[in-house]
Amino acid sequence: MDRKSRRTALGVFGVSTAALAGYTFRGGKKSEAAAQSPSRPATAFRAPGSRDARKLLNSWGIPQAGTHLTNDRKPGIHGYASATSVARGGAVDFHVSVDRPQKFTVAVHRIGRQQPSGTEPLASSPALDGHRRAIPEAAAGTGLIACDWPSSWRLHIPQAWTSGLYLAVFTAEDGYRGYTPFVVRDTGRRSDILVVVPFTTYQAYNIWPLNGRTGKSLYKGYKSPGNLGGAPERAAKVSFDRPYHHSGIPAWFELDAGFAQWAEGHGYDVTYASSIDLHQGRVDTSRYKAVVFPGHDEYWSKPMVDSIKKSDADGTHLAFFASNNIYFHVRLEASARGTAGRVVACFKKDNDPELDTTGATIRWRKVIDDGSLAEQGVIGTQYNGIVKTPVPLVVRKSDHWIWAGTGLRDGDELPYLVGIEADGYDPLMPSPTGYRRTLLSHSPYIDKRPDQPPNNLQSTCISENKHGVLRFAAGTFFWSLALMDKRLPSEQVGKVTKNLLDRMVKPAQQ
């Protein structure tokens, strides 16, 4: 999307980018079934922000008593993992900086269905010596900020651990605490559903250190002390060899965590991978009945796109539970130490100085002039705007099996569900070859971008080919959030999601 408008709408602060957006949601008309739903908010709903970080952490089984969230602008503790995912039986290193010398510990929790140990971590380090590590200067030309901190602790992943979404917790002796996520993968096991966690997009929005002087993301950088600029100051390359800004929890991480909790809580057979696994060829879509992208998954390399395009031939279903997916083309590069996939490059302009055979690192719909690589050709719809004020999702095609059991009728409204960014259908853009598309919603919203017509339409979409292979696109940021947040229409969204996944994991004739 337009970079200036995106910066305004999404921001950089806190657990969720909605913290800066400051959106208050308004509802609309509801059917009798919707109106009687216990999930219907009684008052205006505000999306999670930085002030809700502790509540989110508690919901993930990580108690916060006696601790303080790290903040880049004051002393604390920060760390990063040596990989976005690690296989069972493998090892991951944690690189930690403590702003003043003191002891600290690393604890590892799994986010998902409640573990037998309750809120106890699955692994913990001994007390470790903490030291302040250098913040590197941004590289000339690209703005790359890449740390070269020594390993503070190495975790060997037990073979018995379940594939999933994990959070490393760094706690300093003085009570300050930071975090970093990673995935434990098990690509050797066939599961019904593979969940792909969007680490490339996490890193694109990471502006560590957000200290008033140094940090850069693919959107922003400082043009003077305390004054964040925009595109002229941003980085063209960002590194996984650095913490995530402030507490270390990436922007919109709660979408992926919320889906993990919901899916495991409903008994689905799931395994997990990171977007880097998709890029590096560790994901074979034929091993899964469905591949699910629950979060904001905007930044894709060509190998990532190629890996899911073969899902047609594999008979594998795809589901995208957010919006603005497969939007920017990126290259993944090695770190200075030669570790593959540690740098995300996206110049966002036609004169990419490092152009290779995969094309310029610009929007996918512009890589080829005719727009044939637009995301709608994979997903069925595509990004079409920033939602100024979140609005209801307006139901369409209520006789479709996906709405079964919801009690909803055409024109009914699910309050507050269309927010942050929206997808819609563009008749001038490509469609998935061999698929029949059904638009499941018709939701008017006001586009926040000043250079665009204000009136726009969001569409939730499902496409099906002659073999019954499905592709689903929610078309809004708040779908996965609604699965766990009772202030949103959780009952109806949960039922639709269950209808979809049940159809995906079982043969159509059953």
379: in domain: yes
Q: What is the pLDDT of residue 131?
A: 97
162: in domain: yes
Written as six digits, the tokens of 26 are: 């308004």
450: in domain: yes
Mean pLDDT of 155-160: 97
Count of residues in the chain: 510
Quick check: helix, strand or coil at residue 495?
helix
Tens of pLDDT along 54-66? 888 988 889 888 9
Q: Could you give the CA distance from residue 75 to residue 57 in angstroms, rounded to a whole number?
A: 21
- Is-contact 16 426, C-beta < 8 A? no
- Of residues 81, 421, 105, the one with CA closest to residue 276: 81
Report CA torsion sign: 215, 107, 105, 146.
negative
- Is-contact 402 440, C-beta < 8 A? yes
For residue 437, is pLDDT > 90?
yes
- Is-contact 170 79, C-beta < 8 A? yes
Q: Could you give the CA distance from residue 271 to residue 287 in angstroms, rounded to a whole number?
A: 11
Tens of pLDDT along 188-242? 999 999 999 999 999 999 999 999 999 999 999 999 999 999 999 999 999 999 9
Backbone angles phi, psi at 21, to 5 degrees: -60, -35
Biggest CA pair distance of the chain: 63
242: in domain: yes
Specify the amino acid at residue 224.
S
Contacts (Cβ under 8 Å, ≥6 apart) of 179: 57, 167, 168, 169, 170, 244, 247, 248, 249
DSSP 257-318: HHHHHHHHHTT--EEEEEHHHHHTT---GGGEEEEEE-S---EE-HHHHHHHHTHHHHT-EE
Mean pLDDT score of the chain, rounded to an integer?
Answer: 90
Q: Hey, what's the torsion of the CAs at 297, 151, 178, 231, to 10 degrees? A: -50
Cα 398 to Cα 43, 70, 195, distances in angstroms: 27, 47, 28
100: in domain: yes
pLDDT-derived band at 52 (thresholds 50, 70, 90) equals: confident
- Could you tell me the pTM of the whole model? 0.92
510: in domain: no
DSSP 148-169: -PPPSEEEEPPTTSPSEEEEEE
pLDDT-derived band at 47 (thresholds 50, 70, 90) equals: low
Helix intervals (H) in 294-453: 302-309, 311-314, 364-367, 376-379
Structurally, the chain folds into a number of domains equal to 1
168: in domain: yes
408 Cα distance to chain centroid:
29
pLDDT-derived band at 420 (thresholds 50, 70, 90) equals: very high
pLDDT-derived band at 51 (thresholds 50, 70, 90) equals: low
127 Cα distance to chain centroid:
32
Quick check: helix, strand or coil at residue 227?
strand
SS (H, E, C) 417-441: EECCEEEECCCCCCCCCCEEEEECE
Q: What is the pLDDT of residue 42?
A: 33
Burial of 281 by CB count in 10 Å (0-12 exposed, 13-18 middle, 19+ buried)? Answer: exposed
Residue 140: give its domain's CATH number.
Answer: 3.40.50.880
Tens of pLDDT along 336-351? 999 999 999 999 987 8
Written as six digits, the tokens of 408 are: 């909803």
Q: Given strand 237-239, what is the order of strands in its sheet?
A: 237-239, 343-345, 331-333
Helix intervals (H) in 419-510: 478-484, 490-505
- Is-contact 322 293, C-beta < 8 A? yes
pLDDT-derived band at 9 (thresholds 50, 70, 90) equals: very low
Q: Could you give the CA distance from residue 58 to residue 118 in angstroms, rounded to a whole number?
A: 12
- Of residues 314, 201, 330, 311, the one with CA closest to residue 255: 201
Q: What is the pLDDT of residue 4?
A: 44
Kind of pairing between the strands at 317-320 and 288-293 = parallel
Q: Could you give the CA distance from residue 412 to residue 34 in angstroms, rounded to a whole number?
A: 8
Domain that holds residue 387: 3-505
Burial 91-106 (b: 16+ CB within 10 A, else e): ebbbbbbbbeebebbb
